[in-house]
Amino acid sequence: MTNTTTRKTAAAAEPEAETTATDNTTEAVLGPELRAGQKPQRVTFAHHLRIQGRDFKPGDTASLSPDYARQLRANGYLARERG
C-alpha cells in the first residue's frame, strides 16, 4: 500500500513595487506610492537594508519615492550625495 500525500502550499505573495515608465524604461520604485508630480530618486545605500522582501547591501542603488528616501536618509541608511 502506498501512502501518497498531496500538499498544497500557497504561493508567497510578494509586495508589488510601483512601476513608472521613464524614457522607455520600466523602473521599480520602492516605498510609498508616488504622489502627483513626484519623480523617483536614485539612491545609494550606506547600510544593509531589506525593503519589500529584497536585500540591499552597502553600495547598491535603487529608486525610491522621495518621501521614503528622505526618511531613510534621516535615519542614516542612505549614503550622502556628492554634489
> 1-44 pLDDT, tens per residue?
566 666 655 544 444 444 444 444 556 899 889 999 999 999 99
> 59-82 pLDDT, tens per residue?
999 999 999 999 999 999 999 876
Q: Are 31 and 63 in contact (CB under 8 A)?
A: no
Beta strands at 54-56 and 18-22: parallel, antiparallel or unpaired: unpaired
> Domains, the chain, ranges and CATH?
41-83 (3.40.5)
The grid cell for 70 is 528622505
